[in-house]
Chains A and B, each alone.
Chain A
Amino acid sequence: MHQRILIIIPCYNEETALPAVLRDLKAIKQFNLTILVVNDCSKDRTAEVARQQGIRLLDLPVNLGIGGAMQTGYKFAHRNSFDLAIQLDGDGQHLPSELHKLIDHHNATGDSVVIGSRFVQKTAYRSQWSRRTGIFYFQLLYKVLLNRKIYDCTSGFRLFDKKAIAVAAQVYPDDYPEPESLILFSKLGMNIAEVPVLMQQRQGGASSIGSVSGVYYMIKVTMAIIYSFIRYSQKKTWNAFRS
C-alpha cells in the first residue's frame, strides 16, 4: 500500500476506448495508483476525455510515436520518484483487473521488468497469424542473442521498477520500443519476468503495427535489436549506466 505506482497510458486517438479504461483503473483501491495519460498529439478528443475525468495528463505538442511518448511517462515517473511504473495501452486491450498480477509478481520476486504476457499459458486471446509469425521469429532471435525464452516481447503491458525507470528515462528506443528495450534491460543485468495475463481484443483505435508495414516492422526491429545488442555489449556504455 505504501508503494507509489504510476500507471502510464500512452494514447494516440483513443477517445472511444479510453473512458472505460480510466473508469476501471479508478475503481482499483487496493494499490496507491497515480494515473497518467500521455497524449501523443491525438487528432481526436483524447486530451479532453482525460481532463474531464481529472486525470494527470502529459500533452505532447508534437507526435513522437509510442517510444517517445512512453519515455515521457518514464521521465515523469523518475522525476517524481515513483516506486513502480506500469505501462498500459489506452485501447482497452490490457485489463486493469489484471494489474495486480504484475505487481504481486514484482513484490514476490523483485524482478525489475515484469511483462504481462499473452502466451505463457493458453489464454482466450487470439491474435492474427501474421503477428503470431512475427512473435515466433522474435522468440528465436532472443533465444540466440540472450539465450532465454521471451514469449511475448511485443506486449505493451509491463511493469518497471525504480532501476528500470531510471534507465528508460535516459534511453528508450523510438519507433517500436517493446522488443528492443528488452535487450537493453537484459544487457544491463536486470531481471525480466513474464506473467500470464488475460487480454482483450482491442476495443477501438488501430494497432501501431499495420499489416502492410509488417515486413518493414520485422526488418527494422531486427536491425534495432542487433545494433542494441552490440551497443549495450560494449563495456563503455555499460559502465555509464551503472554509475
Chain B
Amino acid sequence: MERIQIIAITVSLLFLYYISRMIIKGRLREEYAIVWIVCTLGLVLFSFWRNGLEILSGVFGVYEAPNLVFTAAIFAILIYLLHLSVVNSKLQQSNKTLTQELSLLKDKIEQNEKVQQEQQSTAAT
C-alpha cells in the first residue's frame, strides 16, 4: 500500500465518521447526508482499489485517470449546488408564508384585545 493511499483512506474514513456524528446529533438531515455518504464511500472504495480508477477511465475513454476524478467531482458539486438552491428557494417560500400568517394573526389578536377592552370599559360604566 502506498503512502497516498493510506492518507486518502484515513481522510475519507474521518470524513465519514464526522458526517455520521452530525446525523446522530441531529445537526444534519438525512436527506442531505445521503449525497455526502455516497461520495465518501466512493472515495474510500477507490482509495483501496486503485486499479478501479484506471479501469473506469478506460470505460469512459479518459486518458488520464485523475481527469476522470476531477470531472466527476466538479459535476457532482454542480448538481449538489443546484439541489441546495432548490432547497433554499423552498425554504424562502415557506418563510414568506409563515411571516405573512404571523402578521395576520398578530392583527387578529390585536383586534380581539381591542374589542375586549371596549367591552370591559362599557361593563365598568
Residues of A within 8 A of B (CB): 38, 56-62, 64, 68, 71-72, 75-76, 79, 174
Q: Are A68 and B99 in contact (CB under 8 A)?
A: yes
Q: Are B104 and A76 in contact (CB under 8 A)?
A: yes
Once the chains are docked, how many angstroms separate the CA of A38 from the CA of B106? 12
CB-CB under 8 A from A58, the residues of chain B are 103-104, 106-107
The interface size bin for chain B is: 10 to 19
Once the chains are docked, how many angstroms separate the CA of A71 from the CA of B101? 11
Counting chain A CB atoms within 10 Å of each CB, the highest count among B95, B99, B104, B107 belongs to: B99
Residues of B within 8 A of A (CB): 95-96, 99-100, 102-104, 106-107, 110
Q: Are A75 and B104 in contact (CB under 8 A)?
A: yes
CB-CB nearest 10 A-B residue pairs: A58-B103, A72-B100, A62-B99, A68-B96, A60-B103, A60-B99, A58-B107, A59-B103, A64-B96, A64-B99
Closest CB-CB distance, A7 to chain B, in whole Å? 15
Of all chain B residues, the one with the shortest Cβ separation from A36 is B107
CB-CB under 8 A from B100, the residues of chain A are 60, 64, 68, 71-72, 75
Could you pull out 26 A-B pairs where Cβ atoms are within 8 angstroms? A38-B103, A56-B107, A57-B107, A57-B110, A58-B104, A58-B106, A59-B106, A59-B107, A60-B100, A61-B99, A61-B102, A61-B103, A62-B95, A64-B99, A68-B96, A68-B99, A68-B100, A71-B100, A72-B99, A72-B100, A72-B104, A75-B100, A75-B104, A76-B104, A76-B107, A79-B104
